Amino acid sequence: MPPILRYLLGTFIVATLASSVCMQVKYRITSRHLEVRLFGICLRRIALDDIRYISKHRSGRGELWWNTLFPTKRILVIRRRTGWCRNFIITPKDRYVFKAQLKQAMRESAANTTHS
């Protein structure tokens, strides 16, 4: 097999594996955190009380946690109160439904912390 063909085949295999792993990233809202999971393992966690606001518009750089190859209409920016990188960018399947669920969880989390 010629070296250029091996190179192209290897590049194709690596790109296919990378894109399939990217599409396995899932987002989960718990009672206290927003979690980013890959194959059920929590990779990143943000406390709900650390979220300042949620938007669909990007402003500057951010921590990217995409689960799609074409994120244009799915981007949801979560602005944190603390941390080095305050913009946390995810791409849920339906960003408006996910945003509503996240806001509801934030209200419930705030209510639980004030009553405790």
At residue 26, the pLDDT reads 93
Tokens of 16: 């296919």
Q: Are the beta carbons of 106 and 54 closer than 8 angstroms?
A: no
Q: Supply the range of the domain harboring residue 101.
A: 3-115
* Contact criterion met (CB below 8 Å) for 51 and 76: no
Number of domains in the chain: 1
Q: Find the CATH number of the domain harbouring 82.
A: 2.30.29.30
Per-residue pLDDT reduced to its tens digit, 24-52? 899 999 999 999 999 999 999 999 999 99
Fill in the DSSP letter of residue 82: S
Note if the pTM is more than 0.95. no
Task: Name the residue among 57, 110, 50 with its Cα closest to residue 86.
Answer: 50
Tokens describing residue 61: 């750089």
Residue 114 has pLDDT above 80, yes or no: no
pLDDT tens-place string over residues 46-97: 999 999 999 998 888 889 998 888 888 899 999 999 988 899 999 999 999 9
Give 39's contacts (C-beta < 8 A, 6+ positions apart): 24
